[in-house]
Structure 1
Amino acid sequence: MEKQIRGVIIGLTLTTIFASSTYAVLANQQTDVQVKSESKVITTSPEEEKQTTIEIPTVQIENEITTKQEAVYRMINAIDYYHSIEIHFSATKKAGELIESIHLSAINLSNNHLTKIDTTYSANNRSTLFYDNGNIETENFDSNDKSLGIDTSFVMLEGASSNHSMTLADSIKIGDDGEKLYKARPDANYYSNAKIVALPSDLAINLLEDESIYELTGTEKKAGRNTVVLEGSLSDANQVRYQSDHFKLNIDAKTGVLLGMSFTNNGIEKDYLNVSSVTFDQLPEVFKSN
Protein backbone atom coordinates (compact mmCIF):
# COMPACT_ATOMS: atom_id res chain seq x y z
CA MET A 1 0.00 0.00 0.00
CA GLU A 2 1.26 3.39 -0.82
CA LYS A 3 1.28 5.95 1.89
CA GLN A 4 -1.27 8.72 1.73
CA ILE A 5 -0.44 12.22 2.69
CA ARG A 6 -3.18 14.35 4.00
CA GLY A 7 -3.75 17.99 3.45
CA VAL A 8 -6.43 20.55 3.19
CA ILE A 9 -7.28 22.65 0.14
CA ILE A 10 -9.70 25.36 1.22
CA GLY A 11 -10.97 23.48 4.22
CA LEU A 12 -11.23 20.21 2.26
CA THR A 13 -9.12 17.23 3.34
CA LEU A 14 -7.12 15.83 0.47
CA THR A 15 -4.85 12.86 0.04
CA THR A 16 -1.89 12.72 -2.30
CA ILE A 17 -1.86 10.96 -5.64
CA PHE A 18 -0.36 7.53 -5.55
CA ALA A 19 -0.27 6.85 -9.27
CA SER A 20 1.94 4.06 -10.54
CA SER A 21 2.92 6.08 -13.60
CA THR A 22 6.35 7.45 -14.12
CA TYR A 23 7.32 10.90 -12.92
CA ALA A 24 9.77 13.44 -14.24
CA VAL A 25 13.29 13.01 -13.01
CA LEU A 26 14.82 16.42 -12.81
CA ALA A 27 18.21 15.47 -11.41
CA ASN A 28 21.10 17.81 -11.97
CA GLN A 29 18.73 20.70 -12.68
CA GLN A 30 20.17 23.92 -11.29
CA THR A 31 18.33 27.03 -10.22
CA ASP A 32 19.00 30.22 -12.14
CA VAL A 33 18.57 32.42 -9.09
CA GLN A 34 21.03 35.11 -8.18
CA VAL A 35 20.75 37.83 -5.57
CA LYS A 36 21.61 41.28 -6.83
CA SER A 37 24.24 43.17 -4.90
CA GLU A 38 21.91 46.14 -4.75
CA SER A 39 19.27 45.97 -2.02
CA LYS A 40 16.20 47.97 -1.22
CA VAL A 41 16.80 49.58 2.17
CA ILE A 42 13.64 50.68 3.94
CA THR A 43 13.50 52.56 7.23
CA THR A 44 10.49 51.37 9.19
CA SER A 45 10.38 53.79 12.12
CA PRO A 46 9.87 57.54 11.87
CA GLU A 47 11.89 58.09 15.01
CA GLU A 48 15.56 58.13 14.14
CA GLU A 49 16.71 56.68 17.44
CA LYS A 50 14.32 53.74 17.08
CA GLN A 51 14.84 53.06 13.42
CA THR A 52 14.77 49.47 12.24
CA THR A 53 15.96 48.66 8.75
CA ILE A 54 14.79 45.68 6.73
CA GLU A 55 16.73 45.05 3.57
CA ILE A 56 14.92 43.16 0.82
CA PRO A 57 17.44 41.90 -1.77
CA THR A 58 16.00 41.42 -5.24
CA VAL A 59 16.15 37.89 -6.58
CA GLN A 60 17.23 38.10 -10.21
CA ILE A 61 15.65 35.38 -12.33
CA GLU A 62 17.10 35.32 -15.81
CA ASN A 63 14.74 32.88 -17.50
CA GLU A 64 11.03 32.25 -17.45
CA ILE A 65 9.57 28.75 -17.34
CA THR A 66 9.37 27.13 -20.78
CA THR A 67 8.69 23.45 -20.00
CA LYS A 68 6.40 21.56 -17.68
CA GLN A 69 9.42 20.05 -15.94
CA GLU A 70 10.70 23.55 -15.12
CA ALA A 71 7.23 24.49 -13.87
CA VAL A 72 7.17 21.59 -11.42
CA TYR A 73 10.71 22.34 -10.27
CA ARG A 74 9.94 25.98 -9.50
CA MET A 75 6.68 25.11 -7.76
CA ILE A 76 8.60 22.79 -5.44
CA ASN A 77 11.28 25.43 -4.81
CA ALA A 78 9.27 28.66 -5.03
CA ILE A 79 10.81 30.04 -1.83
CA ASP A 80 14.17 30.27 -3.63
CA TYR A 81 12.76 32.76 -6.13
CA TYR A 82 11.65 35.64 -3.88
CA HIS A 83 12.66 37.30 -0.60
CA SER A 84 9.27 38.85 0.09
CA ILE A 85 5.74 38.36 -1.17
CA GLU A 86 2.43 40.17 -0.79
CA ILE A 87 -0.57 38.50 -2.39
CA HIS A 88 -4.38 38.75 -2.33
CA PHE A 89 -6.42 35.77 -3.45
CA SER A 90 -9.84 34.18 -3.11
CA ALA A 91 -10.96 30.59 -3.32
CA THR A 92 -14.05 28.41 -3.43
CA LYS A 93 -14.66 25.11 -1.69
CA LYS A 94 -16.25 22.17 -3.46
CA ALA A 95 -19.49 22.81 -1.59
CA GLY A 96 -19.55 26.35 -2.99
CA GLU A 97 -18.54 28.21 0.16
CA LEU A 98 -16.47 31.22 -0.83
CA ILE A 99 -13.45 32.31 1.15
CA GLU A 100 -13.82 35.93 0.18
CA SER A 101 -10.30 37.13 0.75
CA ILE A 102 -6.92 35.91 1.90
CA HIS A 103 -4.13 38.46 2.23
CA LEU A 104 -0.61 37.14 2.74
CA SER A 105 2.38 39.33 3.58
CA ALA A 106 5.72 37.63 4.15
CA ILE A 107 9.44 38.23 4.40
CA ASN A 108 11.48 35.18 3.41
CA LEU A 109 15.12 35.77 4.33
CA SER A 110 17.61 33.25 5.65
CA ASN A 111 17.73 35.06 9.01
CA ASN A 112 14.27 36.61 9.11
CA HIS A 113 10.96 34.85 8.49
CA LEU A 114 7.89 37.02 9.03
CA THR A 115 4.37 36.08 7.93
CA LYS A 116 1.00 37.74 8.40
CA ILE A 117 -2.18 36.19 7.01
CA ASP A 118 -5.57 37.92 7.14
CA THR A 119 -8.55 35.82 6.08
CA THR A 120 -12.15 36.96 5.60
CA TYR A 121 -14.73 34.20 5.22
CA SER A 122 -18.07 34.38 3.44
CA ALA A 123 -19.83 34.24 6.80
CA ASN A 124 -18.11 37.54 7.67
CA ASN A 125 -15.89 35.99 10.29
CA ARG A 126 -12.21 36.77 10.15
CA SER A 127 -8.97 35.20 11.24
CA THR A 128 -5.44 36.50 11.58
CA LEU A 129 -2.17 34.64 11.88
CA PHE A 130 1.18 36.24 12.61
CA TYR A 131 4.43 34.28 12.52
CA ASP A 132 7.70 35.81 13.70
CA ASN A 133 10.71 33.49 13.47
CA GLY A 134 9.18 30.65 15.46
CA ASN A 135 6.56 32.59 17.42
CA ILE A 136 2.94 32.20 16.32
CA GLU A 137 0.01 34.42 17.27
CA THR A 138 -3.52 33.75 16.03
CA GLU A 139 -6.91 35.38 16.45
CA ASN A 140 -10.15 33.54 15.69
CA PHE A 141 -8.10 30.99 13.80
CA ASP A 142 -9.32 27.40 13.56
CA SER A 143 -6.78 25.26 11.72
CA ASN A 144 -9.17 22.32 11.73
CA ASP A 145 -11.68 23.74 9.28
CA LYS A 146 -10.31 26.99 7.91
CA SER A 147 -6.95 25.98 6.46
CA LEU A 148 -6.43 26.47 2.76
CA GLY A 149 -2.94 25.05 2.44
CA ILE A 150 -2.11 21.40 2.00
CA ASP A 151 -0.70 20.84 5.48
CA THR A 152 0.69 17.42 4.75
CA SER A 153 2.25 14.81 6.98
CA PHE A 154 5.06 13.83 4.68
CA VAL A 155 7.46 11.12 5.71
CA MET A 156 10.79 12.78 6.44
CA LEU A 157 13.55 12.05 3.98
CA GLU A 158 17.19 12.43 4.93
CA GLY A 159 19.00 15.36 3.38
CA ALA A 160 15.93 17.51 2.83
CA SER A 161 16.54 21.07 3.98
CA SER A 162 14.95 24.46 3.44
CA ASN A 163 18.39 25.61 2.27
CA HIS A 164 18.58 23.10 -0.57
CA SER A 165 16.53 22.89 -3.75
CA MET A 166 14.65 19.68 -4.44
CA THR A 167 13.53 17.98 -7.64
CA LEU A 168 10.41 15.89 -8.06
CA ALA A 169 12.64 12.84 -7.92
CA ASP A 170 14.02 14.07 -4.58
CA SER A 171 10.46 14.45 -3.30
CA ILE A 172 9.30 10.92 -4.09
CA LYS A 173 11.27 7.93 -2.89
CA ILE A 174 10.63 4.21 -2.57
CA GLY A 175 11.25 2.86 0.92
CA ASP A 176 12.86 -0.46 1.76
CA ASP A 177 9.40 -1.96 2.15
CA GLY A 178 8.35 -0.78 -1.31
CA GLU A 179 6.14 2.03 -0.06
CA LYS A 180 6.33 5.54 -1.51
CA LEU A 181 7.73 8.25 0.72
CA TYR A 182 6.87 11.88 -0.04
CA LYS A 183 8.65 15.03 1.12
CA ALA A 184 8.11 18.64 0.09
CA ARG A 185 10.30 21.65 0.83
CA PRO A 186 10.09 22.65 4.50
CA ASP A 187 8.00 25.76 5.10
CA ALA A 188 10.20 28.11 7.13
CA ASN A 189 7.57 30.87 6.94
CA TYR A 190 4.63 28.90 8.37
CA TYR A 191 2.47 29.86 5.40
CA SER A 192 -0.45 27.84 6.74
CA ASN A 193 -3.58 28.49 4.65
CA ALA A 194 -1.56 30.51 2.11
CA LYS A 195 1.03 27.83 1.43
CA ILE A 196 -0.81 26.65 -1.65
CA VAL A 197 0.09 29.89 -3.44
CA ALA A 198 3.39 30.90 -1.82
CA LEU A 199 5.02 27.45 -1.76
CA PRO A 200 2.97 25.08 -3.95
CA SER A 201 5.36 22.17 -3.53
CA ASP A 202 2.71 19.87 -2.07
CA LEU A 203 0.36 20.64 -4.94
CA ALA A 204 3.08 19.84 -7.47
CA ILE A 205 3.69 16.46 -5.86
CA ASN A 206 -0.05 15.83 -5.53
CA LEU A 207 -1.15 16.57 -9.10
CA LEU A 208 1.98 16.50 -11.23
CA GLU A 209 3.84 13.31 -10.36
CA ASP A 210 2.77 11.66 -13.62
CA GLU A 211 3.83 14.06 -16.37
CA SER A 212 2.11 11.98 -19.05
CA ILE A 213 -1.36 13.20 -18.00
CA TYR A 214 -0.83 16.96 -18.37
CA GLU A 215 0.86 19.49 -20.67
CA LEU A 216 2.12 23.05 -20.67
CA THR A 217 -0.55 24.48 -22.96
CA GLY A 218 0.41 28.14 -23.20
CA THR A 219 0.79 31.39 -21.31
CA GLU A 220 -1.67 33.82 -19.71
CA LYS A 221 -1.56 37.06 -17.74
CA LYS A 222 -2.67 36.81 -14.12
CA ALA A 223 -2.53 39.73 -11.69
CA GLY A 224 -0.23 41.51 -14.12
CA ARG A 225 2.26 38.64 -14.18
CA ASN A 226 3.20 36.20 -16.92
CA THR A 227 2.03 32.70 -16.09
CA VAL A 228 2.47 29.35 -17.77
CA VAL A 229 -0.59 27.13 -17.97
CA LEU A 230 -0.50 23.48 -16.98
CA GLU A 231 -3.61 21.53 -17.97
CA GLY A 232 -4.46 17.88 -17.88
CA SER A 233 -6.52 15.04 -16.54
CA LEU A 234 -6.58 13.77 -13.00
CA SER A 235 -5.60 10.35 -11.77
CA ASP A 236 -8.41 7.98 -10.84
CA ALA A 237 -7.88 8.76 -7.17
CA ASN A 238 -7.98 12.51 -7.72
CA GLN A 239 -11.06 12.30 -9.93
CA VAL A 240 -12.88 10.87 -6.95
CA ARG A 241 -11.26 13.29 -4.55
CA TYR A 242 -11.97 16.46 -6.54
CA GLN A 243 -15.15 15.24 -8.28
CA SER A 244 -13.53 16.54 -11.47
CA ASP A 245 -11.86 15.14 -14.55
CA HIS A 246 -9.66 18.07 -15.61
CA PHE A 247 -7.42 20.64 -13.91
CA LYS A 248 -5.77 23.90 -14.87
CA LEU A 249 -2.97 25.67 -13.03
CA ASN A 250 -1.53 29.14 -13.67
CA ILE A 251 2.08 29.17 -12.48
CA ASP A 252 4.03 32.43 -12.21
CA ALA A 253 6.56 32.15 -15.02
CA LYS A 254 9.47 33.30 -12.87
CA THR A 255 8.85 32.32 -9.25
CA GLY A 256 6.73 29.17 -9.50
CA VAL A 257 4.10 30.73 -7.22
CA LEU A 258 0.52 29.58 -7.91
CA LEU A 259 -1.60 32.39 -9.38
CA GLY A 260 -4.66 30.42 -10.45
CA MET A 261 -6.22 26.98 -10.07
CA SER A 262 -9.46 25.43 -11.28
CA PHE A 263 -11.01 22.03 -11.79
CA THR A 264 -13.52 21.07 -14.46
CA ASN A 265 -16.05 18.26 -14.48
CA ASN A 266 -17.91 17.43 -17.70
CA GLY A 267 -17.09 20.88 -19.05
CA ILE A 268 -18.32 22.75 -15.96
CA GLU A 269 -15.54 24.78 -14.39
CA LYS A 270 -15.12 24.90 -10.63
CA ASP A 271 -13.00 27.87 -9.65
CA TYR A 272 -10.93 27.05 -6.63
CA LEU A 273 -8.40 29.84 -6.49
CA ASN A 274 -7.88 33.23 -8.10
CA VAL A 275 -5.12 35.75 -7.34
CA SER A 276 -6.07 39.41 -7.71
CA SER A 277 -2.71 41.02 -6.91
CA VAL A 278 0.84 39.98 -6.11
CA THR A 279 4.19 41.72 -5.60
CA PHE A 280 7.63 40.28 -4.94
CA ASP A 281 10.76 41.65 -3.26
CA GLN A 282 9.12 44.78 -1.88
CA LEU A 283 8.65 45.32 1.83
CA PRO A 284 4.99 44.53 2.61
CA GLU A 285 3.10 47.45 4.10
CA VAL A 286 2.29 45.59 7.30
CA PHE A 287 5.98 45.29 8.21
CA LYS A 288 6.89 48.91 7.60
CA SER A 289 5.83 49.93 11.11
CA ASN A 290 7.65 47.08 12.90
Structure 2
Amino acid sequence: MPDETVPDGWNSPEGSDSTLPAGSEILYSGRTDYAEARIERDPACSSGRLLFLDGVAASYIDLDDADHLEFLYIQRFAAMLGVLWPEPQPLRVTHVGGAAASLARYLGESRPHSSQLVYEYDGALVELARRELGLLTFPGLKVKTGDARARMDRRSPGSADVVIGDAFVGRKVPEALRGTDYLSQVANVLADGGVYLLNTIEGPDLFGARRHAATLQRQFRTVFCTTDPDVLAGRNSGNVLFLATDREKFTFPLGALVRVCTTGSYPDQVIRPDEIADFIGDAQPYPG
Protein backbone atom coordinates (compact mmCIF):
# COMPACT_ATOMS: atom_id res chain seq x y z
CA MET A 1 0.00 0.00 0.00
CA PRO A 2 -0.54 2.32 -1.67
CA ASP A 3 -0.59 1.59 -5.38
CA GLU A 4 -0.82 4.20 -8.11
CA THR A 5 -2.66 1.82 -10.44
CA VAL A 6 -6.04 0.27 -9.72
CA PRO A 7 -8.06 -2.34 -11.63
CA ASP A 8 -9.54 -1.18 -14.92
CA GLY A 9 -12.79 0.72 -14.47
CA TRP A 10 -12.21 1.70 -10.85
CA ASN A 11 -11.81 5.21 -9.50
CA SER A 12 -8.41 6.75 -9.75
CA PRO A 13 -6.98 7.48 -6.29
CA GLU A 14 -8.27 11.04 -6.72
CA GLY A 15 -11.64 9.97 -8.14
CA SER A 16 -15.00 10.62 -6.56
CA ASP A 17 -17.61 8.07 -5.56
CA SER A 18 -19.94 9.47 -8.20
CA THR A 19 -17.74 8.00 -10.93
CA LEU A 20 -18.00 4.39 -9.82
CA PRO A 21 -18.14 1.96 -12.74
CA ALA A 22 -21.33 0.06 -13.43
CA GLY A 23 -21.75 -2.80 -11.00
CA SER A 24 -19.38 -1.39 -8.39
CA GLU A 25 -20.60 -1.00 -4.84
CA ILE A 26 -19.33 0.80 -1.77
CA LEU A 27 -19.34 -1.75 1.04
CA TYR A 28 -17.89 0.44 3.76
CA SER A 29 -17.12 4.09 4.35
CA GLY A 30 -15.77 5.43 7.61
CA ARG A 31 -12.72 6.51 9.54
CA THR A 32 -9.87 4.48 11.01
CA ASP A 33 -7.53 5.95 13.62
CA TYR A 34 -5.59 7.89 10.99
CA ALA A 35 -7.42 7.84 7.65
CA GLU A 36 -10.73 7.99 5.84
CA ALA A 37 -11.39 4.46 4.62
CA ARG A 38 -13.59 3.14 1.84
CA ILE A 39 -14.06 -0.43 0.63
CA GLU A 40 -15.47 -1.17 -2.82
CA ARG A 41 -16.50 -4.46 -4.39
CA ASP A 42 -14.74 -5.35 -7.65
CA PRO A 43 -17.48 -5.46 -10.32
CA ALA A 44 -15.38 -7.97 -12.29
CA CYS A 45 -14.78 -10.30 -9.32
CA SER A 46 -17.48 -10.86 -6.72
CA SER A 47 -14.91 -11.76 -4.05
CA GLY A 48 -12.60 -8.84 -4.86
CA ARG A 49 -12.34 -5.86 -2.52
CA LEU A 50 -10.44 -2.61 -2.99
CA LEU A 51 -9.49 -0.60 0.09
CA PHE A 52 -8.93 3.15 -0.24
CA LEU A 53 -7.29 5.21 2.51
CA ASP A 54 -7.69 8.97 2.16
CA GLY A 55 -8.67 8.41 -1.46
CA VAL A 56 -5.56 6.37 -2.30
CA ALA A 57 -5.82 2.72 -3.36
CA ALA A 58 -4.14 0.89 -0.47
CA SER A 59 -4.99 -2.82 -0.80
CA TYR A 60 -6.78 -5.26 -3.06
CA ILE A 61 -8.02 -8.46 -1.46
CA ASP A 62 -9.68 -11.45 -3.09
CA LEU A 63 -11.59 -13.07 -0.24
CA ASP A 64 -11.62 -16.42 -2.05
CA ASP A 65 -8.14 -16.48 -3.58
CA ALA A 66 -5.01 -15.34 -1.73
CA ASP A 67 -2.99 -15.96 -4.92
CA HIS A 68 -4.88 -13.16 -6.71
CA LEU A 69 -2.48 -10.23 -6.50
CA GLU A 70 -4.11 -7.33 -8.34
CA PHE A 71 -1.60 -4.58 -7.63
CA LEU A 72 1.41 -4.66 -9.92
CA TYR A 73 3.89 -3.70 -7.23
CA ILE A 74 2.76 -6.62 -5.06
CA GLN A 75 3.20 -8.93 -8.05
CA ARG A 76 6.73 -7.55 -8.47
CA PHE A 77 7.60 -8.16 -4.82
CA ALA A 78 6.26 -11.73 -5.01
CA ALA A 79 8.21 -12.39 -8.21
CA MET A 80 11.45 -11.02 -6.77
CA LEU A 81 11.09 -13.18 -3.69
CA GLY A 82 10.48 -16.15 -6.00
CA VAL A 83 13.82 -15.50 -7.68
CA LEU A 84 15.72 -15.20 -4.43
CA TRP A 85 13.99 -18.08 -2.65
CA PRO A 86 11.99 -20.41 -4.93
CA GLU A 87 8.54 -21.39 -3.67
CA PRO A 88 7.51 -23.14 -1.47
CA GLN A 89 10.61 -22.42 0.63
CA PRO A 90 9.40 -20.92 3.92
CA LEU A 91 10.63 -17.47 4.88
CA ARG A 92 10.79 -15.28 7.96
CA VAL A 93 9.13 -12.07 6.79
CA THR A 94 8.49 -8.77 8.56
CA HIS A 95 5.97 -6.44 6.92
CA VAL A 96 6.30 -2.81 8.04
CA GLY A 97 2.94 -1.41 7.03
CA GLY A 98 0.13 -3.87 6.64
CA ALA A 99 -3.15 -2.41 5.37
CA ALA A 100 -5.15 -5.57 4.56
CA ALA A 101 -2.03 -7.79 4.38
CA SER A 102 -2.50 -9.03 0.82
CA LEU A 103 1.15 -10.03 0.39
CA ALA A 104 1.25 -11.72 3.79
CA ARG A 105 -1.80 -13.78 2.85
CA TYR A 106 -0.21 -14.73 -0.46
CA LEU A 107 3.02 -15.83 1.21
CA GLY A 108 1.04 -17.82 3.76
CA GLU A 109 -0.55 -19.77 0.91
CA SER A 110 2.46 -20.11 -1.38
CA ARG A 111 5.05 -20.71 1.34
CA PRO A 112 3.54 -22.87 4.09
CA HIS A 113 5.43 -22.87 7.38
CA SER A 114 6.65 -19.32 6.84
CA SER A 115 6.86 -17.07 9.90
CA GLN A 116 5.43 -13.59 9.31
CA LEU A 117 5.04 -10.46 11.41
CA VAL A 118 2.91 -7.54 10.22
CA TYR A 119 3.45 -4.18 11.91
CA GLU A 120 0.55 -1.76 11.33
CA TYR A 121 0.39 1.58 13.11
CA ASP A 122 -3.37 2.01 12.65
CA GLY A 123 -5.14 -0.33 15.05
CA ALA A 124 -8.60 0.56 13.75
CA LEU A 125 -7.46 -0.34 10.24
CA VAL A 126 -6.46 -3.80 11.44
CA GLU A 127 -9.89 -4.25 13.02
CA LEU A 128 -11.54 -3.09 9.79
CA ALA A 129 -9.48 -5.60 7.80
CA ARG A 130 -10.51 -8.37 10.18
CA ARG A 131 -14.17 -7.42 10.03
CA GLU A 132 -14.62 -6.53 6.36
CA LEU A 133 -11.66 -8.00 4.46
CA GLY A 134 -11.26 -11.46 5.93
CA LEU A 135 -7.95 -10.82 7.70
CA LEU A 136 -7.58 -13.78 10.02
CA THR A 137 -4.42 -14.72 11.82
CA PHE A 138 -3.26 -18.14 10.69
CA PRO A 139 -0.35 -20.32 11.77
CA GLY A 140 2.82 -18.38 11.17
CA LEU A 141 1.19 -14.92 10.96
CA LYS A 142 1.08 -12.34 13.74
CA VAL A 143 -0.28 -8.82 13.36
CA LYS A 144 1.06 -6.22 15.79
CA THR A 145 -0.21 -2.65 16.10
CA GLY A 146 1.72 0.40 17.22
CA ASP A 147 5.11 1.92 16.52
CA ALA A 148 6.96 -0.28 14.01
CA ARG A 149 10.29 1.41 14.62
CA ALA A 150 10.15 0.72 18.34
CA ARG A 151 9.25 -2.91 17.62
CA MET A 152 12.12 -3.23 15.14
CA ASP A 153 14.50 -1.88 17.77
CA ARG A 154 13.55 -4.74 20.09
CA ARG A 155 14.05 -7.47 17.49
CA SER A 156 16.82 -10.03 17.73
CA PRO A 157 19.66 -9.69 15.20
CA GLY A 158 19.26 -11.91 12.15
CA SER A 159 15.63 -12.76 12.93
CA ALA A 160 14.18 -12.07 9.44
CA ASP A 161 15.01 -13.18 5.92
CA VAL A 162 12.95 -10.37 4.43
CA VAL A 163 11.78 -6.97 5.65
CA ILE A 164 9.15 -5.28 3.48
CA GLY A 165 8.66 -1.53 3.82
CA ASP A 166 5.15 -0.62 2.68
CA ALA A 167 4.08 2.09 5.12
CA PHE A 168 2.78 5.49 4.09
CA VAL A 169 1.42 8.78 5.29
CA GLY A 170 -0.49 9.84 2.21
CA ARG A 171 1.96 9.10 -0.60
CA LYS A 172 5.13 9.45 1.47
CA VAL A 173 7.11 6.96 3.52
CA PRO A 174 6.95 8.18 7.15
CA GLU A 175 10.02 10.08 8.33
CA ALA A 176 10.66 7.55 11.09
CA LEU A 177 10.84 4.71 8.55
CA ARG A 178 13.14 6.10 5.89
CA GLY A 179 16.36 7.44 7.44
CA THR A 180 19.86 6.06 7.93
CA ASP A 181 19.35 5.12 11.58
CA TYR A 182 16.19 3.19 10.77
CA LEU A 183 17.89 1.32 7.94
CA SER A 184 20.60 0.33 10.40
CA GLN A 185 17.83 -1.28 12.46
CA VAL A 186 16.53 -3.07 9.37
CA ALA A 187 20.00 -4.36 8.51
CA ASN A 188 20.43 -5.63 12.06
CA VAL A 189 17.17 -7.60 11.87
CA LEU A 190 18.08 -9.20 8.53
CA ALA A 191 19.85 -12.54 8.48
CA ASP A 192 22.88 -13.16 6.28
CA GLY A 193 21.67 -12.96 2.69
CA GLY A 194 18.45 -11.23 3.72
CA VAL A 195 16.78 -8.49 1.68
CA TYR A 196 14.90 -5.29 2.30
CA LEU A 197 12.07 -4.52 -0.14
CA LEU A 198 10.78 -0.95 -0.17
CA ASN A 199 7.72 0.49 -1.93
CA THR A 200 7.68 4.23 -2.59
CA ILE A 201 5.39 6.56 -4.54
CA GLU A 202 7.21 9.18 -6.56
CA GLY A 203 6.34 12.18 -8.69
CA PRO A 204 7.93 13.08 -12.02
CA ASP A 205 11.04 14.68 -10.47
CA LEU A 206 11.94 11.40 -8.69
CA PHE A 207 13.61 13.47 -5.96
CA GLY A 208 12.31 11.27 -3.16
CA ALA A 209 13.34 8.10 -4.98
CA ARG A 210 16.88 9.41 -5.38
CA ARG A 211 17.07 10.18 -1.67
CA HIS A 212 15.72 6.73 -0.81
CA ALA A 213 18.35 5.21 -3.09
CA ALA A 214 21.09 7.27 -1.44
CA THR A 215 19.93 6.17 2.00
CA LEU A 216 19.82 2.51 0.99
CA GLN A 217 23.25 2.70 -0.63
CA ARG A 218 24.68 4.16 2.58
CA GLN A 219 23.60 1.01 4.47
CA PHE A 220 23.57 -1.88 1.98
CA ARG A 221 26.15 -3.31 -0.41
CA THR A 222 23.70 -3.89 -3.28
CA VAL A 223 20.69 -1.75 -4.30
CA PHE A 224 18.35 -2.62 -7.19
CA CYS A 225 15.41 -0.53 -8.40
CA THR A 226 12.44 -1.18 -10.69
CA THR A 227 9.64 1.09 -11.89
CA ASP A 228 7.42 1.94 -14.84
CA PRO A 229 9.40 3.44 -17.75
CA ASP A 230 7.11 6.49 -17.81
CA VAL A 231 7.84 7.11 -14.13
CA LEU A 232 11.58 6.85 -14.68
CA ALA A 233 11.32 9.21 -17.65
CA GLY A 234 9.47 11.79 -15.55
CA ARG A 235 6.24 11.53 -17.55
CA ASN A 236 4.13 10.11 -14.73
CA SER A 237 4.02 9.41 -11.00
CA GLY A 238 3.90 5.88 -9.63
CA ASN A 239 5.46 3.12 -7.58
CA VAL A 240 9.24 2.95 -7.40
CA LEU A 241 10.45 -0.29 -5.82
CA PHE A 242 13.80 -1.00 -4.23
CA LEU A 243 15.56 -4.21 -3.25
CA ALA A 244 18.56 -3.76 -0.95
CA THR A 245 20.85 -6.46 0.42
CA ASP A 246 24.35 -7.17 1.64
CA ARG A 247 24.58 -10.20 -0.62
CA GLU A 248 27.82 -10.29 -2.57
CA LYS A 249 27.43 -9.74 -6.30
CA PHE A 250 28.23 -13.35 -7.14
CA THR A 251 25.28 -14.52 -5.02
CA PHE A 252 22.90 -11.85 -6.32
CA PRO A 253 20.76 -13.21 -9.21
CA LEU A 254 20.68 -9.96 -11.15
CA GLY A 255 19.76 -11.46 -14.53
CA ALA A 256 16.75 -13.33 -13.15
CA LEU A 257 15.56 -10.27 -11.23
CA VAL A 258 15.79 -8.14 -14.35
CA ARG A 259 13.79 -10.73 -16.32
CA VAL A 260 10.88 -10.92 -13.86
CA CYS A 261 10.65 -7.13 -13.73
CA THR A 262 10.94 -6.40 -17.45
CA THR A 263 8.71 -9.08 -18.96
CA GLY A 264 4.94 -9.57 -19.01
CA SER A 265 2.08 -7.27 -19.91
CA TYR A 266 3.46 -4.26 -18.03
CA PRO A 267 7.26 -4.39 -18.25
CA ASP A 268 9.25 -2.19 -15.91
CA GLN A 269 12.55 -0.46 -16.46
CA VAL A 270 15.23 -1.37 -13.94
CA ILE A 271 18.18 0.42 -12.42
CA ARG A 272 20.94 -2.10 -11.86
CA PRO A 273 23.26 -1.94 -8.84
CA ASP A 274 26.10 -0.50 -10.94
CA GLU A 275 23.73 2.24 -12.19
CA ILE A 276 22.41 3.33 -8.79
CA ALA A 277 25.13 5.92 -8.16
CA ASP A 278 24.29 7.71 -11.42
CA PHE A 279 20.59 7.62 -10.53
CA ILE A 280 21.31 9.13 -7.10
CA GLY A 281 23.37 11.99 -8.49
CA ASP A 282 23.77 14.63 -5.80
CA ALA A 283 20.76 13.50 -3.73
CA GLN A 284 21.47 13.15 -0.02
CA PRO A 285 20.37 10.30 2.28
CA TYR A 286 17.40 10.83 4.56
CA PRO A 287 18.56 11.47 8.14
CA GLY A 288 17.30 9.75 11.25
**Which structure carries more relative contact order (alpha carbon 8 Å, separation 6+)?**
1
Structure having the larger proportion of residues in helix: 2
TM-score higher than 0.5: no
Structure having the larger proportion of residues in strand: 1
TM-score under structure 1 normalisation?
Answer: 0.31
TM-score under structure 2 normalisation?
Answer: 0.32
